[in-house]
């Protein structure tokens, strides 16, 4: 079974919208290494339409430009890229195709195919649906030390609880914290009576 890894830039108050407007001041070698590892550890990338269009509007030109990020751009171009969209799409970026059918059913089938891991970058709506369906194996959150106060948040209100287990945490020099979560069982019922046993007693 192939593993799906989702990665997002996120603010302290949970905003994931338009990270290009606020995350670049925090981008350093540590974050570059983390982002590069997320992308290049997979052989397939899964996108929502808007995120795909953002990538496709930038990376092919960067590959052709031959700059310092051309190698990473080529690696993205060489990967299989699958786009979830209700619209019929046409593609100019090589190795791109449209996901057909119901999202959850199609991604379940994709996970069962032979191949390497699947990377999911941004694409908040897709991440939400796949998390709810239990199809995301690792959730990587690059938490930035900024409170944006407005914008789309990763998790909206009214959704069912989603238990997660912290797999690892790494703090970068810029104050960004790289948190890696995996699915977890519900923690069970507990209240103050259970918690008070762990309080430090007065001397």
User: What is the model's pLDDT at position 81?
Assistant: 96
Q: Is the pTM of this model over 0.85?
A: yes
151 within domain boundaries:
yes
Task: Report the number of distinct structural domains present in the chain.
Answer: 1
How far is 110 from 127, CA to CA, in rounded Å? 15
Q: Is the pLDDT of residue 200 over 80?
A: no
Q: Which residue has the tokens 């999911």?
A: 120
Kindly write down the DSSP assignment for every residue of 91-154, as one continuous string: --STTEEE--S-HHHHHHHHHHSSSSEEEEES-HHHHHHHHHTT--SEEEEEEES----SS-BS
User: What is the model's pLDDT at position 202?
Assistant: 62
- If pLDDT is split at 50, 70 and 90, which confidence band does 201 have? confident
Write the CB contacts of 102 (distance below 8 Å, at least 6 apart in sequence): none
Q: Is the pLDDT of residue 143 over 60?
A: yes
Domain span at residue 59 reads 4-198
203 within domain boundaries:
no
Q: What is the CATH number of the domain that holds 121?
A: 3.40.430.10
How far is 154 from 8, CA to CA, in rounded Å? 9
Q: Which residue has the tokens 């694409």?
A: 123
Q: What is the pLDDT of residues 25-52, one digit of tens each?
A: 999 999 999 988 888 789 999 999 999 9
Q: Is the pLDDT of residue 203 over 60?
A: no
63-72, 118-127, 144-153, 189-198: lowest mean pLDDT where?
189-198
How far is 53 from 48, CA to CA, in rounded Å? 9
Positive or negative torsion for Cα 9, 12, 14, 17: negative
155 within domain boundaries:
yes
């Amino acid at each position: 079974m192939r593993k799906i890894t989702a990665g997002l830039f996120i603010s302290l108050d949970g905003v994931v919208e338009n990270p290009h407007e606020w995350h670049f001041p925090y981008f350093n070698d540590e974050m570059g290494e983390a982002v590069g590892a997320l992308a290049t550890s997979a052989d397939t990338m899964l996108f929502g339409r808007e995120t795909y269009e953002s990538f496709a509007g930038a990376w092919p030109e960067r590959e052709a430009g031959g700059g310092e990020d051309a190698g990473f751009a080529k690696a993205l171009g060489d990967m299989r890229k699958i786009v979830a969209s209700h619209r019929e799409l046409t593609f100019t970026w090589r190795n791109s195709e449209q996901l057909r059918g119901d999202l959850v059913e199609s991604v379940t089938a994709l996970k069962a195919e032979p191949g390497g891991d699947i990377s999911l970058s941004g694409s908040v709506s897709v991440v939400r649906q796949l998390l709810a369906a239990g199809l995301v194996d690792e959730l990587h959150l690059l938490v930035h030390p900024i409170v944006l106060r407005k914008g789309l948040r990763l998790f909206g209100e009214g959704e069912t609880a989603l238990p997660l287990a912290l797999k690892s945490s790494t703090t970068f020099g810029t104050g960004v914290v790289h948190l890696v979560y995996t699915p977890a069982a519900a923690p069970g019922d507990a209240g103050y009576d259970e918690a008070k046993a762990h309080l430090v007693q007065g001397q």
